[in-house]
Amino acid sequence: MTAARVASRKPSTSRARPAKAVQRADASVGARKTQVQTQLARLGIRRSFDLVLHLPLRYEDETRITTIAEASAGGGSAGSGSGAVQVEGRVIDTEVMYRPRRQLVVRIEDDTGMLHLRFFNFYPSQARALAEGVTVRAFGEVKGGFFGGEMIHPRFHMLRGAESLPQSLTPVYPTTAGMGQALLRKLIERALVAHPLEDTLPERVYAPLGVPGFGAAVDAIHHPRALSAAGAQREARLLQDRSHPAWRRIKFDELLAQQLSMRIHYRQRRARTAPSLADRGALTRRLQAALPFRLTAAQQRAWAEIARDLEATHPMHRLLQGDVGSGKTVVAALAALRAVDNGFQAAVMAPTEILAEQHYRKFHEWLSPLGASVVWLTGSQTRVERRAALAAIASGETLVAVGTHALFQDTVQFKALGLAIVDEQHRFGVAQRLALRKKGRRAAAAGAEASAASGAEPHQLMMSATPIPRTLSMSVYADLDVSVIDELPPGRTPVVTKLIADVRRTEVVARIRDACREGRQAYWVCPLIEESESLDLQTAIDTHAALAADLPGLRVGLAHGRLGSAEKAEIMGGFMRGEIDVLVATTVIEVGVDVPNASLMVIEHAERSGLAQLHQLRGRVGRGAAESTCILLYQGPLSQSARQRLKVIYQSSDGFAIAEADLALRGPGEYLGARQSGAPLLRFADLLEDKSLVEAAHQAAERLLDTDPDTVRRHLERWLGGRDEFVKA
């Protein structure tokens, strides 16, 4: 009985142990799977097909063996992008050395010479495996060592019998910590087998570009074939710089997905409703008649485009771009009057209080005599002032509201918002710009007569004084209509730009003294407010003190971002009224400051500033009839990039030419950072290098949207997979 019981327990006992082991194994596998998924997510891989589009950074040529003699002489691999080669040799000896540090040194030889393989991080098992007489293949870069040629930490494996060479270049993929190339290659190969790579596009779309089908392109990039030495070098070079036809196909498909997504958004917006702001003409004509100047041809063209959009029953989303001083504000004022003329309100939003106040002054000067009340709303107002402004906006008594981000807040309610004007729009995030649109909807929901009758969504006019290169305009701003003011008003005096080394600072101070004694005013711009331990830059505070001492009899003011709003406004107002001769400031004066009497600007440490910022700052002078000068004060020695930037700003005053140069110097990624979360991200295409593909994708997108919705759906599904990452709100 007892024996039977014991016997009956034995099988269950023997099964229990494996069950626990299996559970532990399952837990380990599950943990590893989760870890791999986390690592893949860091690489932007969230679905299986993303692995197909996880393309190599570079290639290594393991399709051939280089003799040790040739490798030591510098015979690099065509696909490695460096001097990396693959050698094969027999181990002569293996030694663990301890001086100058612990290391494993393996000597191998072939019929042409001897080579050292040196490892500073190794396992004892590696030392045992690399025993004398073993044949090994090693891949790495050969460098000259104390005892001859050597490879430091090469990739290697031992040969066990005859082993054929790979038939294609070995891809090296972008990876992350803990994710080795071997595992990544395995996962990618599995995805390539699992997913059909048929074309989403008809041949007529891509064939004119001279590119292959999608499947052939993907295969060529993941498995570039082995060719003769000369052919392999050319193939690898084209793959490496991403100009190979296979790469061009992938880039085109990506750009097309971007264009389709953004143009769909554009068309969806045009399907929504907005109030039609008809050309009643009275107020806009009266303003133009009252202005002391005539609009330029470019201003008239831009205004005509905006006016046509405002008459439509779908919301306008137009970007008005123009160089510094080209006269965008008066065009915006005409647009605001069109809204007022139709019984609607207009909101004007600026990123800084200085710029917002500048707009308020201009709009008040131009619109108030026409009976259009203008109110200013900022975060620095007193409670009483703010309450009065909010009440005037909510009741409709105020027709034009000018302000900063304060206009976003929930406490701001418009009675009938018909137009939102956003200046320096790239400084606002997408969510902030959307907030004004929602205010128009709230007004309709609340029963505002005009808004409820004509539509719930206000028109939007965005302005930018940073010219945008055409390629970026077609791609990044494909969801917007764009108007360009490409000429300056008559009478604007060209600004003379001078490059002066910091060692000549005394001469510059003397130049300021002379200009101010002649009745002119000057800016001195500094990049920092206080001392920085990491950057050896002259600060605004120290410069203000030094200039006040060096310029006795002149009034020297100081403005920077950390001043209170009231104090900052007082200082800027004093400079505008001529009560301050020299204004020392940080880049708070980059936009929105209009002082015609200021004819001289000094930009401290100009080598540290970007082209767009230098051009914006320079635009603060040259606004009057007097000849104006911008002095770029630099500290040597200059880096190559700083030298290039200063050369561009010295030689050109054309904002569009400067923008093109800025794009070339910084690259699209950094250039587009200013558009914040609204910027569509491109993994493969380069908006600078692939201009022809941007144009082709732009044209193809319009044709496909008009004629082939099934192709559009399939293409977006492949590239977005349900993730709307290209579409902006």
- Whose structure tokens read 């001897």? 114
At position 130, the amino acid (one-letter code) is: L
- Whose structure tokens read 């390629």? 471
| 371 φψ region: left (φ > 0), alpha (ψ -120 to 50), beta (else) | left
**CA–CA dist 717, 338 (Å, integer):** 42
- Whose structure tokens read 């590239």? 719
**Which of 467, 496, 492 has the alpha carbon at shortest distance from 632?**
496
Q: Which pair of tokens denotes residue 125? A: 């098992």
What is the phi/psi pair of residue 166, to 5°? -60, 155
CB atoms near residue 193 (< 10 Å): 7
Q: Which residues contact 454 (CB under 8 A, 6 or more apart)?
A: 273, 274, 275, 276, 313
**Which of 26, 77, 357 has the alpha carbon at shortest distance from 235?**
77
**CA–CA dist 635, 617 (Å, integer):** 19
**CA–CA dist 146, 154 (Å, integer):** 18
Give 3-state DSSP helix, strand, coil % of the chain, rounded to 5. 50, 20, 35
pLDDT of residue 446: 44
Q: Which pair of tokens denotes residue 490? A: 């008559």
Cα angle, residue 600 at apex, residues 599 and 602 outer, rounded to 5°: 155
Tell me which H or E stretch contains 541.
helix 540-550
Cα angle, residue 212 at apex, residues 80 and 173 outer, rounded to 5°: 30
**CA–CA dist 165, 85 (Å, integer):** 14
pLDDT of residue 7: 41
Strand partners, 244: none
Strand partners, 95: 105
**CA–CA dist 67, 89 (Å, integer):** 9
Q: Where are the alpha helices (DSSP H) in 43-151?
A: 48-52, 68-72, 124-129
pLDDT of residue 3: 43
What is the phi/psi pair of residue 40, to 5°? -65, -40
Q: Which residues of the chain carry a pLDDT beneath 50?
A: 1-15, 78-81, 444-455, 533-534, 536, 673-680, 722-729
Q: Which pair of tokens denotes residue 56? A: 């190599």
Residues 93 and 132 sit within 8 Å (Cβ to Cβ): yes
Q: Which residues contact 555 (CB under 8 A, 6 or more apart)?
A: 579, 580, 581, 582
Q: Looking at residue 659, what DSSP letter applies? A: H
Q: How far apart are the first and last CA of the chain?
A: 79
Q: Looking at residue 615, what DSSP letter applies? A: H
**CA–CA dist 536, 534 (Å, integer):** 7
Burial class (CB in 10 A: 0-12, 13-18, 19+), 175: middle
Burial class (CB in 10 A: 0-12, 13-18, 19+), 63: buried
Q: Which residues contact 706 (CB under 8 A, 6 or more apart)?
A: none
Q: Which pair of tokens denotes residue 21? A: 């082991």
Summarize pLDDT for 680-723 with one digit per residue, the tens.
Answer: 468 899 887 898 999 999 999 999 999 999 999 999 999 987 44
Strands 114-119 and 103-109, by their bridges, are antiparallel
Q: Which residues contact 635 (CB under 8 A, 6 or more apart)?
A: 501, 502, 605, 607
**CA–CA dist 226, 166 (Å, integer):** 8
- Whose structure tokens read 């080669």? 85
Q: Which residues contact 291 (CB under 8 A, 6 or more apart)?
A: 330, 366
**Which of 91, 226, 66 has the alpha carbon at shortest distance from 141?**
66
**Which of 80, 93, 86, 69 has the alpha carbon at shortest distance from 148?**
69
pLDDT of residue 663: 76
